[in-house]
Amino acid sequence: MSKVTRREAIVGAAALAAAGGASHAIGAPPSGTWTPLANMPFPVQEIYPTADFRTGPNPKDYLLRRRGVLVNAGGLTPTEGFAFNTTDLVTAYDPLTNQWDWGTNLPEPRHHIALAFHDNYLFAIGGFKRNNAGGWQMQRNVWRIGDLREPRWRAMTSMPIPQAESVVVSAAGRLHVIGGRAPAGTQNSQWHHHIDTDRHWIYDAAADAWQPRAPLPTPRNSAAAAAVGRYIYVIGGRTVSDGNTPACEVYEPQSDRWQGSAPMPKPIRQAAPRGQSGLAAATWNGNIYVFGGEWPSGVYADVWEYDPREDKWRAVAAMPTGRARHGLGAVALSDGIYVVGGATGPNDLGTSPYLDRFAI
């Protein structure tokens, strides 16, 4: 497979990235501020929230369109005696009022379901279903809603294969579903039935159709992704055989090519392995910011800034004490990056309702 060169990726990102991001070397003094905000209505982890810049007849919609609304759907939330209850609840956070509201429930409960705002619709893609047959039934469904006040989500054309714990990014006029996990064979109900996948699909919303694209060079799950200009960066994650990975790879849609970029730095906490999984990422002023994640013995407080123009990482202000977590979401709105949900311990420990704003 041909690949875009490092120079092409860096120069292209520089030309198309939003202005305002400065380049810094690793080791520069940490910068950035954290502000705790209103907790979510309930604790939840393994979420993939998104921004919704909705439109509508209400005069307030104009302000929301400019500032954005944070939306989450599904996830894992603890109930009495059970840490991994799957939910169908949809919540929306309004930064103008610092308040949460409810949206139309998903058609059925899902965890690890990915949300994306694309073509003025919210899309909910894939994820895992739980019932008496098993808790890790990977799904192909794609649902769409135009406004969270509508009575129901609409079913769209399903993905070609079941695929979950993927990254989902809106870029270059298409939705991209990349990597994650897929069934290893005919069984699809438990975690050990799945393998890491390199599959990469694009969704054309106008045609309601899916097509394959160049596969992810490093198959992995529980990664994070962000777009800068027309480029998509897939960051970190883990593999079944080797655990966490620091891999960072960049995709250019027009040429349908991938290229490796500088891997994630070593963690500040030396006991933790290099490479963060169950992490979250968002683009702010042309740079990518990466938050949290887990390894078998703990969670990362590390926050990293990646400058695509220089292909360099640096540490910025870590997540606040007691609020480092994995299985969280990071969503860029007009005044900063909103870091939401997740668990303060590995696996099912410490599922939280936290919402914090990071600004730099």
Indicate whether 100 belongs to any domain. Answer: yes
Indicate whether 15 belongs to any domain. Answer: yes
Closest by CA to 222, choosing from 170, 262, 279, is 279
| pTM exceeds 0.75, yes or no | yes
* Domain hosting residue 291, numbered range: 6-359
In terms of pLDDT, which residue wins out, 7 or 139? 139
Distance of alpha carbon 290 from alpha carbon 112, whole angstroms? 18
Q: How many domains does the chain have?
A: 1
Confidence of residue 61 (pLDDT cuts 50, 70, 90): low
Pairing of strands 69-73, 76-79: unpaired
Judge whether residue 51 has pLDDT over 90: yes
Indicate whether 1 belongs to any domain. Answer: no
Indicate whether 340 belongs to any domain. Answer: yes
Judge whether residue 66 has pLDDT over 70: no
Indicate whether 347 belongs to any domain. Answer: yes
pLDDT in tens, 290-327: 999 999 999 999 999 999 999 999 999 999 999 999 99
CATH number at residue 34: 2.120.10.80
Indicate whether 38 belongs to any domain. Answer: yes
Indicate whether 227 belongs to any domain. Answer: yes
pLDDT in tens, 148-161: 889 999 999 999 99
Indicate whether 224 belongs to any domain. Answer: yes
246 residue type, one letter: P
